[in-house]
Amino acid sequence: MAGEDKVHFFDITSINEGPLKAWSPNTFRTRLVLNFKRIPYTQSFLSYPDIAPTLQSLSVPPVTKQYVPYALPAIIHKPSLSAKNPTHFAISDSLQIALHLESAFPAPEYPSLFPTPASYPLAMAVLKLMTEIMAKQSPIGLPKVPAYLDPRGQEYFNRTRAQLFGKPLPELAARGDELERVWEAVTEILSTLGTMLRGEPGKQKPVRSSRVIRPDMRTVGCGVYGVVFKER
C-alpha cells in the first residue's frame, strides 16, 4: 500500500513523557502490532473524557453496552477501511484492529501476526488468560492509574470506576492477606500462560513457533503496564 495515507493510531494520554507516555496494556497491543508489522503510522493521545466523543465523531460503534461503551485503541485508515464502508474509516478494539491490519498489510511485504496455522487459536487462548490476569490484578493496578493521568483523565477515571465497583478506587486497593491472595491468583494464571507458550521441557513441544506472534504482543503489552508504574 505504498503511497497511501498512513494509519492514524489513538492512544490514551498520561503525564509521562517520552517512551513512558504510552502506558495502557490495551493500546500497547495495537502499538506493538503496528511496530512489528512495520506499518507507517501517526498518533494522537486522548484524555479519557475525550475518547467517547472522538470515536462517536468517527462513527465508531461502541465496544460494549456497559459502563464505558467507548474505549481505545482505535485507528483511522481511510484507504483500507473505506473499501468496506465508504462512510466509515475508523475501528476500535485491539483484536479487530490486528485482524484488519493483518489483512490490509499482508505478508510477505509486512511480517505476519499469524505465521502458522496454530497462531490464531493460540492468540485466542492467550487473550482469555490475559483477560483473566487483568481482572485478577485490578485491586493492585487500577487504584494506581489516576496518578499517571492528566487532571481531566483523573477525574473521569475515578468517577467512572467508582460507579463500576461501588466504591472509591483507594478502597479497592488490595492490602495485607488480600494482596497475597491476588498475587497468588495472578501467579497461577501466569504459570499456565508460560507453560502454554513455552512448553514443558521433556514432555511436549511448544505449541507456538519460534517467531514472535500476536500472543507474545498481548503478554508484552501487560508487562509494559507494570514497567510504567514501576518507573513512576
Helices (H), 69-168: 78-81, 94-104, 119-136, 138-141, 151-165
**Are residue 129 and residue 210 in the same domain, yes or no?**
yes
Q: Point out the least confidently predicted range of 59-63, 71-75, 159-163, 227-231.
A: 227-231
Q: How many CB atoms lie within 10 A of CB 204?
A: 9
Question: What are 165-223's pLDDT values in tens digits?
Answer: 999 999 999 999 999 999 999 999 888 888 877 765 655 454 444 454 444 444 444 44
Domain count, the chain: 2
Nearest Cα residue to 31 out of 60, 10, 1, 57: 10
Identify the pLDDT of residue 228: 41
pLDDT band at 56 (very low <50, low <70, confident <90, very high): very high
> Residue 9 and residue 124: Cα distance in Å, rounded?
23
**Are residue 99 and residue 124 in the same domain, yes or no?**
no
Domain final residue, candidates 80, 104, 128: 104
Identify the pLDDT of residue 208: 46
Residue type, 77: H
- Flag whether 113 is in a domain: no
Identify the pLDDT of residue 157: 96
Burial of 25 per CB tally in 10 Å (0-12, 13-18, 19+):
buried
Residue type, 36: F
17: Cβ contacts below 8 Å, ≥ 6 apart = none
**Are residue 99 and residue 134 in the same domain, yes or no?**
no
Percent of the chain past pLDDT 70, that is, above it, reads 84
**Are residue 161 and residue 200 in the same domain, yes or no?**
yes
**Are residue 77 and residue 126 in the same domain, yes or no?**
no
Q: What is the pTM of this model?
A: 0.82
Identify the pLDDT of residue 232: 44
Identify the pLDDT of residue 176: 92
List the domain range (segments joined by +) for residue 168.
119-231
- Flag whether 163 is in a domain: yes
Contact 189, 129 (CB under 8 A): yes
Integer CA distances (angstroms), 128 to 57, 123, 157, 184, in order: 31, 9, 25, 18
> Residue 150 and residue 154: Cα distance in Å, rounded?
6
Measured over all CA atoms, what is the biggest interatomic distance in the chain, rounded to whole angstroms?
57
**Are residue 125 and residue 30 in the same domain, yes or no?**
no
Stretch 140-148: mean pLDDT: 93
Contact 113, 33 (CB under 8 A): yes
**Are residue 162 and residue 127 in the same domain, yes or no?**
yes
Domain final residue, candidates 104, 127, 143: 104
Question: What are 113-130's pLDDT values in tens digits?
Answer: 998 888 888 888 888 888
Identify the pLDDT of residue 4: 53
- Flag whether 2 is in a domain: no
- Flag whether 203 is in a domain: yes
Identify the pLDDT of residue 101: 96
Instruction: Report the first-to-last Cα separation within the chain, whole angstroms.
Output: 39
**Are residue 66 and residue 131 in the same domain, yes or no?**
no
**Please, what is the average pLDDT of the chain?**
84
For residue 221, give the CATH number of its domain: 1.20.1050.10
- Flag whether 1 is in a domain: no
Beta strands 41-46; 74-76: pairing state = unpaired
Collapsing DSSP to helix, strand or coil, 9 comes out as strand
**Are residue 128 and residue 84 in the same domain, yes or no?**
no
Domain final residue, candidates 104, 131, 156: 104
- Flag whether 38 is in a domain: yes
Residue 135 above 80 pLDDT?
Answer: yes
Stretch 23-52: mean pLDDT: 95
**Are residue 129 and residue 184 in the same domain, yes or no?**
yes
For residue 33, give the CATH number of its domain: 3.40.30.10
Beta strands 90-92; 74-76: pairing state = antiparallel
- Flag whether 164 is in a domain: yes
